[in-house]
Structure 1
């Protein structure tokens, strides 16, 4: 089950008529994120399996997951922003209980991403889940 912020994003997507509008909305979400500090763009935070450069810095504070990220591709930055909306503020157990593929499907993302982008999205989800499982 998604949190309230993700439910709001789902509602936003329901008002967008076509995939191009949704695509732009995802990109806008990425543009609205704060930039990831250069010091955190290191091999340890780099996500393998993505066609573009992707860094995710995840941590658990006060029992809740928080992560930031960056990419050199606008759509991937938007996907990071969407994942942040989906996961940030959840406990590790809640993160592991989220069916990210189903939640992304509610936004129509599963049907409209290229195979490479879908693989990258899976890699990012797996990184977040690994962080949650390690705590």
Structure 2
């Protein structure tokens, strides 16, 4: 399965990073580039449950492809969510179901930094995406 353009950029950027410190900086930068969600979207109905931090997710179907937007109150989580969005935005519902989260973060060289709670949180975000794409 081919990767969305943003995912290719993410992979190239993170794989070129020299060591964890540089990847951590990149992670924060990706999070900082995440478009801000409006307060209208930061409502309970859009909150992802299963995350330790607050995460909100909205999605829209455009020409058979999903576009998601998300935000978090935690900077590190924003970075991880931004990388998840890079991986899934533009996919069809069927492709979305095939996304392998651990594999994606492993390719980025970030899997060791995913604590069980962060991993669960990201899985909750992906699960919510699949529910929206239903």
Moved more, 41-50 or 114-123: 114-123
CA RMSD of aligned residues (A): 1.3
Q: Provide the residue aligned with 1:127 in structure 2.
A: 128
Deviations 1:74-133 (A, max 9, x none): 01111121111111111111111222221121012221122221111111111112222x
TM-score w.r.t. length of structure 1 = 0.91
- In structure 2, what is the Cα distance between the partners aligned to 1:80 and 1:88? 12
Mark the runs of 5 or more structure 1 residues left unpaired by the alignment.
none
- In structure 2, what is the Cα distance between the partners aligned to 1:66 and 1:102? 21
Q: Provide the residue aligned with 1:40 in structure 2.
A: 41
1:83-98 to structure 2, matched below 5 A, reads: 83-98=84-99
Q: Provide the residue aligned with 1:23 in structure 2.
A: 24
Q: Provide the residue aligned with 2:100 in structure 1.
A: 99
- Kept after mapping to 2: 8 A contact 1:16/1:22: yes
Aligned residues: 133
- In structure 1, what is the Cα distance between the partners aligned to 2:70 and 2:25? 19
- In structure 2, what is the Cα distance between the partners aligned to 1:14 and 1:109? 10
Show structure 1 runs of 4+ deviating over 4 A. none
